[in-house]
Structure 1
Amino acid sequence: MPYLNISATLNLLRSIKNPSLICPHYTISTFDQLSIPLSSAFRTPDGQEPDIRAVVLDKDNCFAVPHELTVYKEYESTFTRLRAAYPGDRLLIVSNSSGTWEDRDYREAAHLERTLGIKVLRHHSTKKPGCWPEVFEHLKKSDAGVTRPDQVAVVGDRLFTDVVMANMMGSWAVWVKEGVRPASGNLMGRGEHWVAQRLFERGWRAPTPSSRLL
């Protein structure tokens, strides 16, 4: 039985007050459409490419089938190129399954690190989006060279967790709109698509990434 994501529920109220938090800076249908390096997908207010030094990567329905611990076969080439572009500490997996309290003894996190060669954040107390301070603190202490939120891009398939986390942190948000399994196949996915369409129709856009924590 899945656990309630209290962090997402509480921050949903914050997003209702400020809908721009739900808006991505860049939208792709599936992970294999990701622009690498990610800086090429964005522009700063003065028209320049941002200095993206690290990428935070969701797992379930982003680069992997939900609850599986391997890269989806059709995305292997893109995943390999992403890992080459952001080696070592510059690529971090932040999942709401692997690396959380639901991951007993962090076995899934350890397995992913062994097989993929990428660090998985342990965030046992708070799930996305509320774990963003842990994410940023980890990146600052790593060898990624991150000193500001706008040097980070977050890639994930969920508006209310991945995109909101990126915007709360002051980073760049990439929304994988469909994922491995089409969003139309589940109620939450359809709901997020409906919300996104309404927000864009009303002129809402993602906030400008920040050079300091909000």
Structure 2
Amino acid sequence: MTPFNLSATLNALRILKSPTLLHPQLTIPTFDHLPIPLSTALKADIRAVILDKDNCFAVPYVKEVYPAYKDTFEKLRKEYGDRLLIVSNSAGTDDDGGHLEADILEKDTRVKVLRHSTKKPGCYPEIMSYLTSKTDVTRADQVAIVGDRLFTDVLMANMMGSWAVWVKTGVVDSERTFYGRVERGLLGVIKWGGGKAPVPIGGVWRG
């Protein structure tokens, strides 16, 4: 059973006021279509990349990169180094007892897994606090968020003023799930109504 995500439930209410928060700036079919470097595709100064884990580059709750995506993952790791950060709503959260899953995932991927007390989409202050202290990131619009969920990854990116890269089809096709159908249906309505993705504009982070 998927643990309850209070952060997603509360922040989803923002969509009632600003539905375009669900609209990504870039959509890719699957993770292996991710353009590297992202600065070229987004035409922006992307200094750090945040990766969702479950169903983005890994099978949900499996602590290793999906075999078909290993080449892309390695290219991404070499391009961004310590400016690549995994932010999961499983590994690294308070649900991850002793952060054992995060430790295993870091060992397998050689990428830092953020330890965070609030789940996505509400953990962006923790993300920015880490990036501004450990990397050359000074603004939220220097960050790209890559993930398969509109209500967590894309919503968080737009809330924090970053770039949202939506992986339309995850390792397991989310269109077959109830939540996936709801998310895609809402995005379709937003696009039908003429909604556009927000333009990431962020000043120097003061969080």
TM-score by length of 1: 0.93
Counterpart position of 2:97: 104
1:75, distance to aligned residue in structure 2 (A): 0.4
Structure 1 residue runs of 4 or more that deviate by more than 2 Å after TM superposition: none
CA deviation vs aligned residue, 1:64-116 (integer Å, no higher than 9, x gap):
0000011001001100111111012x000000000011111000101111121
Deviation at 1:4, TM superposition (A): 1.3
CA deviation after TM superposition for structure 1 residue 194, in Å: 0.7
Counterpart residue number, 1:46: none
One of 133, 153, 158 as aligned partner of 2:144 = 153
Cα RMSD (Å): 1.2
Name the count of aligned residue pairs.
205
Partner of 1:138: 130
Q: Flag structure 1 segments of 5+ consecutive residues without an equivalent.
A: 43-48
The AA in structure 2 aligned to 1:54 is: A
2:155 counterpart residue number: 164
| Residue correspondence of structure 1 range 36-51 to structure 2 within 5 A | 36-42=36-42, 49-51=43-45
Quote the offset at 1:2 in angstroms. 3.0
| % identity of equivalent residues | 56
Whether 2:137 is the aligned partner of 1:114: answer no
In the alignment, the residues of structure 2 paired with residue 195 and residue 202 of structure 1 have an alpha-carbon distance, to the nearest angstrom, of 11
Counterpart Cα distance in 2 of 1:2 and 1:195: 22
1:68 and 2:62 are equivalent in the alignment: yes
Separation in 2, partners of 1:196, 1:20: 8
TM-score, normalised to structure 2, is 0.96
Counterpart in 1 of 2:30? Answer: 30
Report the equivalent of 2:85. 92
Question: CA separation in 1, counterparts of 2:11 and 2:106?
Answer: 29
Residue 168 of structure 2 is matched in structure 1 by: 177
Deviation for aligned residue 1:178 = 1.0
SS in 2 for 1:135: helix
